Structure 1
């Protein structure tokens, strides 16, 4: 009998709760919140579909004759850095901040970043830890021949392109800067994994370019190897610096490998765009 009474009381409370909930929500309108577009791009170069997340400035409208610079973000999925960087871009382009112009952000979601962000290595430990490694050349070709042309065709863009890469993404950004520098105008390289292949990229002679480049390098308190190689990258570029190069370096002593990116990107936006 006691069990029956308890069950009845529970049912009554449950019904009352549902009635109250329905009453509280009857005048509430719920709609989806969107900050951009999700594009599935079929890549012939990579022989797979790639998800691209696109943030569009608040004022973006096909009815307005205005073009926007594009910021390309490696590790750009929703679960990675896309939302955070899009937020920095939105904040930085507010009229009362004016740190950078309103910009489109293109976040490239990962399928296998160890495969896409690394070039072939002769280091056996690298091969063991990264068994799918060594296909950055194909990924760079995907960016050059498929992704950038698609973005420029679909959206109203200017010719100004910025690349953001952190960790292995920083390694790839450095490789692009060295081998295909004119793919981007601005390079934001944070905590680059230049230890890859026994630091061979630091021995590479970068390709020459004649257009203006802004290169921002940052590293946190991340251990001797990453800190040293980031500084060596800066020193290497400093020797090669000419009137077309604007080079910056920051050591973020209060940040580590996990949280250096956002402060680095904020500082890079200030230095690159507030000229």
Structure 2
């Protein structure tokens, strides 16, 4: 049954993609939904035009420029909709940061490796490419481009499946610092391969971890037990061997999972493995902040929230901001502000709603919530200015409800005149 739902979700994502890319007839009555885009630019390093699919967080255009985003680089575009959907959901429930997903449409720059007698790949070698131009493209072109155009930060995750996971292992071994987390799915067979005959990624990875104990990184490697069964037993053996070598090397700086995933097939494993990998990189106990618990601790409410995210920012190396808005959740500033006001902590509640406006300067709702707080605190002039901004934004964005803002604004102005 779970495979049926997985298949259905992929079908729906792909149907949405047809709408997004304009492949549904203009006479079709359906309304397009935008959750992704396709971008391209010319690469000097590769001497070719490079296309990529990009998923941006839904609030990208509403929030302030202080918001920057990690990048998940996906080497298998076939899984773009699935990965984007998982990232969207997990970030929406604050189980991970809002993240940009970039899917490479043409990943042909996989380094040549010897298969060392793999029964899963009955060839002497895989690929026949020099990966260095592609790596140069990432370092000097793609990542700077994402930073300048999409506010990407320097926390990066790479994800490959099956064949493309070769490049994931390659960057772990040869490009330290290029990625903070490496996710290699359907990759147990690749662990037994290497650049030279008889050389193995198992030993190369282990050597990299042993030689650089202070290197901060996350490594996730798995294959389905459907692959590592009787026909290709080396897949499971490779994963278990890597696990036994890395186990004593795990530390605060280095976290890993190397396992044979139960009850899954070669590509079926992509969904549950991705969820597990992201949970390793972003543990729930750290990311699922309970805002009411935080503000009810001793001290100023906004200060307590800031301290929580400053600690998280220090761990991950980029600025992580509290969520001003979230769907159907009390773990957001826009609801914690009114909560504090009801608790007679009016100044603290207003301070939090003022922060909402700073974080979401293009959101009429943020200005409206703050205007109501000012009005209830009898700060009528501030309420008028703030509600005027909500009204103007609503008109600019052509949102429904602008006239309700206007009606409320006229009443406020009359109250201000009376004062």
Alignment partner of 1:231 is 2:229: no
How far apart, CA to CA, are the structure 1 residues paired with 2:222 and 2:59? 31
Q: Which residue of 2 aligns with 1:133?
A: 128
CA separation of 1:36 and 1:122: change in aligned 2, threshold 3 A = closer
Secondary structure in structure 2 of the residue aligned to 1:248: strand
**Which one has a larger percent strand, Structure 1 or Structure 2?**
1
Question: Where does 1:172-187 land on structure 2 (aligned, <5 Å)?
Answer: 172-187=167-182
Q: CA deviation at 1:251?
A: 2.6
CA separation of 1:237 and 1:179: change in aligned 2, threshold 3 A = farther
Q: Which residue of 2 aligns with 1:118?
A: 111
Q: Is the 8 A contact 2:55 2:102 kept in 1?
A: yes
CA separation of 1:45 and 1:260: change in aligned 2, threshold 3 A = same
How far apart, CA to CA, are the structure 2 residues paired with 1:124 and 1:180? 27
Alignment partner of 1:71 is 2:72: yes
How far apart, CA to CA, are the structure 2 residues paired with 1:118 and 1:269? 26
How far apart, CA to CA, are the structure 1 residues paired with 2:264 and 2:51? 30
Q: CA deviation at 1:261?
A: 1.2
CA separation of 1:104 and 1:208: change in aligned 2, threshold 3 A = same
Q: Is the 8 A contact 1:51 1:109 kept in 2?
A: yes
Per-residue CA distance 1:219-273 (angstroms, 9 max, x = gap): 2111212222233333444454444211223431101212111110011112211
Normalised by the length of structure 1, the TM-score is: 0.76
How far apart, CA to CA, are the structure 2 residues paired with 1:174 and 1:129? 19
Q: Which residue of 2 aligns with 1:102?
A: 98
Q: Which residue of 1 aligns with 2:278?
A: 269
CA separation of 1:230 and 1:42: change in aligned 2, threshold 3 A = farther
Q: CA deviation at 1:103?
A: 1.0
Q: Which residue of 2 aligns with 1:90?
A: 88
Deviates more, 1:200-209 or 1:52-61: 200-209
Q: Which residue of 2 aligns with 1:212?
A: 216
Greater C-alpha radius of gyration: 2
Q: Is the 8 A contact 1:217 1:234 kept in 2?
A: no
How far apart, CA to CA, are the structure 1 residues paired with 2:122 and 2:266? 22
Please list every run of 5 or more consecutive structure 1 residues that lacks an aligned counterpart in the other structure: 1-26
Q: CA deviation at 1:72?
A: 1.1
Normalised by the length of structure 2, the TM-score is: 0.52
Q: Is the 8 A contact 1:181 1:209 kept in 2?
A: no
Secondary structure in structure 2 of the residue aligned to 1:194: helix
Please list every run of 5 or more consecutive structure 2 residues that lacks an aligned counterpart in the other structure: 1-26, 287-419
What is the root-mean-square deviation in Å for CA atoms of aligned residues? 2.9
Deviates more, 1:81-90 or 1:246-255: 246-255
CA separation of 1:190 and 1:199: change in aligned 2, threshold 3 A = farther
Q: Is the 8 A contact 1:42 1:50 kept in 2?
A: yes
**Which one has a larger percent helix, Structure 1 or Structure 2?**
2
* Matched residues, number: 241
How far apart, CA to CA, are the structure 1 residues paired with 2:51 and 2:122? 27
Q: Is the 8 A contact 1:119 1:137 kept in 2?
A: no
Alignment partner of 1:44 is 2:41: no
Q: Which residue of 2 aligns with 1:34?
A: 34
Deviates more, 1:213-222 or 1:30-39: 30-39
Per-residue CA distance 1:27-61 (angstroms, 9 max, x = gap): 98544332222112322222222211110011111
Q: Which residue of 2 aligns with 1:171?
A: 166
Q: Is the 8 A contact 1:176 1:183 kept in 2?
A: yes
How far apart, CA to CA, are the structure 1 residues paired with 2:96 and 2:122? 40
Q: Which residue of 1 aligns with 2:260?
A: 251
